[in-house]
Structure 1
């Protein structure tokens, strides 16, 4: 990866297109599980694209293996796909970017108020 790809994210776009091409070859129930999981994995805001790509690659690989062995996606991943995604990303209640921004804003406001008040 060169500097330009890092700045523009073109490497991530290329990798994402490769994921979607692999997912298109999956059976219908596996494809539906992939669509649901990629959404639930992207929701925790503590992941950038570069940190999320290896997780997505692993999930897609798991779905591909399950399809090759004739197992349904639900047999491999369970019925709670959102819970599976949350477990992969650190579980429910993990800190997100929004939490960090809120903490930073609160610190900045507290600092400004200290300067004004004392």
Structure 2
């Protein structure tokens, strides 16, 4: 990966467009599952989403393989897509960007209160 691609994120844009092209080739129910997976995984990403690209690639590959084998989405993902995505992201206790922001806010408030009280 070149420095300029890293800075601008053009490598991610290219990779995302490739994901979308692959997803368009899926049957309708698998494509809908892909949209649910993307929607459920995005809260676990960092600012750029780089940390999710491998996970998204694997999930899309799973959907492609299951479609090729004629398996239904329910057979592959089960009925809890959000739980499936939480497991992919690192388990039920996986931290989202909202959790990190909350912790940062709490630290800042505690630091400010410590200065005022001390």
TM-score (normalizing by structure 2): 0.88
Unaligned runs of 5+ in 1: none
| Cα deviations by residue, 1:30-87 (Å, 9 ceiling, x for unpaired) | 1111111111111235574111000000000001111111111211111111111111
Q: Map 1:1-118 to 2 at 5 A.
A: 1-45=1-45, 48-118=48-118
In angstroms, what is the RMSD of aligned CA positions? 1.8
Cα 1:44–1:38 shift into 2, 3 Å: same
- Offset of 1:103 from its aligned partner? 2.1
Q: Check conservation: 2:43, 2:97, Cα contact below 8 A.
A: no
- Between the aligned partners of 2:3 and 2:116, the Cα distance in structure 1 is 44
User: Which 5+ residue runs of structure 2 have no aligned equivalent?
Assistant: none
